[in-house]
Amino acid sequence: MSHSSDVGIDPDALASFRKLVLAQGRLLYRDLPWRRTTDPYEIWISEVMLQQTQVSRVDGRWQRWLERFPTVDALAAAQAADVLDEWQGMGYNRRALSLLNAARSVADAGGVMPSDLKELVALPGIGPATAAGIRAFAFNLPGVYLETNVRTVMLHEFYPDAEQVPDKELVPLVEASCPKDAHDPEDDPRTWYYALLDYGYHLKRTVPNPSRRSRTHVRQSRFDGSHRQKRAMVVRALLSYREGAPVSTIAQEVSAEERRAGRPPVEEAYVLSLLEELAAEGFCRDQSGLWKP
């Protein structure tokens, strides 16, 4: 199925595409834990956890998070160190702080997760795709939910031979294909995006990954030994010294971890620069020479 941007979206091609995806969705449906709820807070947590993270890793961690922080108000009342501690192993610690800051904004506004797109994207860490996911899965509202599996389907079906396809080409297709109301439970925004996700997941496992032909596709830089990894090491060290520790102690912790990985120890001055970097982002603070999370 091909698409020509200069002639617009062909209605027959779009109808055929929608029929195909809905059929694939019924055939390939994955009964995932976060699909058994429509609670906006629970959906939000799942959407953030699933960003660049395998489903198998999220299943279990999502449930554990909700046991510890069962509501948006419970998360808002938590200490940053506890939120970071629960997030360890999920990668991208910034996401945990964004969740905390967004929860506090929602709690301050009355504790109800918004359904409005503009209100959602105004919250820390919530971009257009995450907002569209919350709207579709929690509120059954239409939107442009362009995440990696959705992108995979669009590229496979509409751009089978193209390279470097920009998202601006895909957005009109995603928008046009999404049903506009929730009156048909077999073809509403929630069901439609589940079908796209499951078909995209299937395609990634059965054909050369179409999403690599997207202009947005970037190969992940090496993590082992990187600045990003050392930041994560410093965060872990901070979490093990809740009452605070001097730079020298944190440097020793990071150096020990580096040696176990067969890499040279880190300089104390470098660890200090990492702490200052993290402090500027709200991860930690210097209190009379002791660094605390």
The tens digit of pLDDT for each residue in 140-187 reads 999 999 999 999 999 999 999 888 889 999 999 999 999 998 899 999
> How would residue 217 be classed by pLDDT, with cut points 50, 70 and 90?
low
Q: What is the CATH number for 236?
A: 1.10.10.10
Structural domain contains residue 218 = no
Structural domain contains residue 197 = yes
Mean pLDDT of 271-288: 95
Query: Last residue of a domain, which of 188, 213, 238?
Result: 213
Alpha-helix runs per DSSP H in the chain? 11-28, 40-49, 55-68, 72-76, 80-87, 93-108, 117-121, 128-139, 148-158, 167-177, 189-206, 227-239, 247-260, 268-280
Structural domain contains residue 220 = no
Q: Which of 83, 126, 101 is nearest to 235 (CA)?
A: 83
Does 114 share its domain with 81?
yes
Does 130 share its domain with 170?
no
Q: Which two tokens stand for residue 90?
A: 């999920």
- Give residue 1's pLDDT: 53
Mean pLDDT of 185-190: 96
* pLDDT at 218 exceeding the cut of 80: no
Q: Enter the pTM of the model.
A: 0.90
- Give residue 3's pLDDT: 46
Mean pLDDT is lowest, of 93-107, 217-231, 242-256, for: 217-231
Tens-place pLDDT, residues 9-30: 889 999 999 999 999 999 999 9
- Identity at 286, one-letter amino acid code: D
- Give residue 213's pLDDT: 78
Does 27 share its domain with 148?
yes
The domain of 146 spans 5-31+142-213
Give the DSSP H/E element, type plus range, for residue 10.
Answer: none
Query: Last residue of a domain, which of 213, 244, 270?
Result: 213
Does 97 share its domain with 75?
yes
Strands 285-287 and 290-292: antiparallel
When divided into structural domains, the chain yields a total of 3
Does 49 share its domain with 117?
yes
Characterise 99 by phi-psi region: left (phi > 0), alpha (psi -120 to 50), beta (else): alpha
% of the chain surpassing 70 pLDDT:
95
> How would residue 2 be classed by pLDDT, with cut points 50, 70 and 90?
very low
Please give the angle made by the CA atoms of 287, 267 and 219, to the nearest 5 degrees. Answer: 100
Does 118 share its domain with 178?
no
Does 97 share its domain with 160?
no
% of the chain surpassing 90 pLDDT:
84
Mean pLDDT of 268-279: 96
Tens-place pLDDT, residues 48-100: 999 988 999 999 999 999 999 999 999 999 999 999 999 999 989 999 999 99
d(CA 213, CA 241): 45
Structural domain contains residue 219 = no
- Give residue 5's pLDDT: 42
Does 125 share its domain with 159?
no
* pLDDT at 114 exceeding the cut of 50: yes
Mean pLDDT is lowest, of 98-112, 209-223, 244-258, for: 209-223
Does 135 share its domain with 46?
yes
Does 246 share its domain with 110?
no
Query: Last residue of a domain, which of 106, 139, 172?
Result: 139
Q: What is the CATH number for 128?
A: 1.10.340.30
Mean pLDDT of 235-262: 94
Does 197 share its domain with 255?
no
Mean pLDDT for the chain?
A: 93
**Buried (b) or exposed (e) across 236-261, using 16+ Cβ within 10 A?**
bbbeebeebbebebbbbbbbebbeee
Point out the residues that are catalytic: 47
- Give residue 150's pLDDT: 96
- Give residue 211's pLDDT: 78
Does 75 share its domain with 146?
no
